[in-house]
Amino acid sequence: MKTQQSIPTTKVERSAKFVKTGFQIGGNYIKHYSKKLFNPGMDRDQLNEDNATDIYKSLSELKGSALKIAQMLSMDKNILPKSYVDKFTQSQYNAPPLSGPLIVRTFTKNFGKTPEQIYDTFNLNSSNAASIGQVHQATLNGKKLAVKIQYPGVGDSISSDLKLVKPFAFRLLGMSERELNIYIKEVEERLLEETDYELEVKRSIQFSEDCKNLDHVVFPKYYPELSGKRIITMDWLDGLHLKEFLKTNPSQELRNKIGQALWDFYNFQQHELRAVHADPHPGNFMITPEEDLGVIDFGCIKELPNDFYYPFFSLISTDVINDKAKTIDAFRKLDMIHTDDTADQVEFYYKSYKEMISLFAKPYISKVFDFSKTEFFEQLYLYGEKISKMPEFKQARGVKHFIYVNRTNFGLYQILHELKAMVNTDTYEPTLNR
């Protein structure tokens, strides 16, 4: 893959990139509607393909929060046309890597030394390049290491980038202005944390320690003394990403084992730690040669405060969802039903959200769940499509914590579906006794 020699870091350079992309998209629309004059039956697939290609190219060169949003949207499969999902999914694994001189400059800026002065060997060609940083292989004292390097300017450009992404997100997501602002604010807070590599090292060490007794889940060792604001050094974990793993045609037994490890990893965090690894895309996991699940990124953590945790997870226990008054009370606490809603609105949102929660909770309310079944996912997507077209859902509803909690759980469900895993879902259950 061709390396990237520079990244637009100033507000002016990054704005110019977005303006240029905007013009390209405008051109795509003109081209599309000109052709449509001569072929009225033509659908929007080619238009979506052209726009997705132009937007992804722009975001992948800007990197940082711009590319991270593409990554997040690619996981929300029922929000975007297929061509966008296919294109944006690339951001989970590959973005154009940085050139050698840019990498060396990042080291000298952070440590006052080049990589060769710090490690015994350092490979200037990255093994993985994603939205916020890229990973290089190094060795020191006989140990194989993974060195994650943050792209220049990423941390400083989050707020201005999100303002620039807003018009694209507005058009693609069809959210109301207020809802989009809540979405972007929550994304901004998490991204600011995600670009703080010193915080990530602390959290990685803490979470690795907290989760060390989980079966078949492994973590790299982190080296704070070889890490800094823009660089993280950890042990290299050998293994295959999910796509590569599935190509090896693993047995159902092994799929179930990895799926169970993933389910336990997430639900242990949600219910025992009340904080969760909120970036469940396949690029953050490896299946090791020992057939364990390796977790290699703790950049994005979402804490679950009590005023969200209790009403949300109480809805998953059947006695609450079957009690209308208790369910409405939980919906009010979660801002899904508003204080100024009329009686008809209360009834409408009660029925709609009850249907949604009942769907979401299916894996939780049976002791064993088969994630290979496509009907469950089709029901989820159909429900998402149905409410996206309803005017009652154009206004913002639900507390901000839903953004990352939904993303986490649906991301988890999606990986388990790709694994076609059958898992025991009663290993770590909601703790609702205060």
Q: Which residues contact 232 (CB under 8 A, 6 or more apart)?
A: 147, 148, 197, 200, 201, 204, 222
Whether residue 28 has pLDDT greater than 60 = no
- pLDDT higher than threshold 50 for residue 25: no
Give the pLDDT confidence score for residue 29 in this predicted structure. Answer: 38
Tell me: the pLDDT tens digits for 39-91?
445 445 554 555 555 554 555 555 545 555 554 544 444 444 444 444 444 44
Domains, the chain, ordered by start: 11-94+159-169 (no CATH), 96-129+132-154+195-236 (3.30.200), 239-434 (no CATH)
Task: Write out the two tokens for 191.
Answer: 């991204």
Q: Give the Cα separation of 30 and 2 in Å (integer).
A: 31
Mean pLDDT of 403-425: 90
pLDDT the model gives residue 231: 94
Using DSSP bridges, classify how beta strands 217-218 and 293-295 pair: parallel, antiparallel or unpaired: parallel
pLDDT single digits (tens) 272-311: 999 999 888 788 899 999 999 999 888 888 899 999 999 9
Q: What is the pLDDT of residue 64?
A: 47
- Report d(CA 303, CA 288) in Å as an integer: 28
- Tokens 């081209």 found at: 31
Instruction: Give pLDDT, residue 131.
Output: 67
Task: Name the band, by pLDDT with cuts 50, 70 and 90, for residue 152.
Answer: confident
Reading phi first (left if > 0) and then psi (alpha if -120 to 50, else beta), residue 178 is in: alpha
| Residues 6 or more apart whose Cβ sits within 8 Å of residue 399 | 308, 334, 335
Q: Tens of pLDDT along 223-258?
A: 999 999 889 999 999 999 998 999 999 999 999 999
Read off the pLDDT band of 377 (50, 70, 90).
confident
65 in Cβ contact with 160 (< 8 Å): no
pLDDT of residue 212: 94
Specify the pLDDT at position 30. Answer: 42
pLDDT tens-place string over residues 170-216: 555 555 677 677 777 777 787 788 888 999 999 999 999 999 999 99
3-state secondary structure at position 92: helix
DSSP state string for 95-152: -PPBPHHHHHHHHHHHHSS-HHHHSSEE-SS-SEE-SSEEEEEEEETTEEEEEEEEPT
Look at residue 334 and tell me whether its pLDDT is greater than 50. Answer: yes
- The amino acid present at 24, given as its one-letter code, is Q
Instruction: Return the percentage of the chain with pLDDT > 70, whole number.
Output: 69
Assign 52 to helix, strand or coil.
Answer: helix
CA–CA dist 206, 259 (Å, integer): 23
**Higher per-residue pLDDT: 243 or 16:** 243
Is a pLDDT exceeding 60 seen at residue 5?
Answer: no
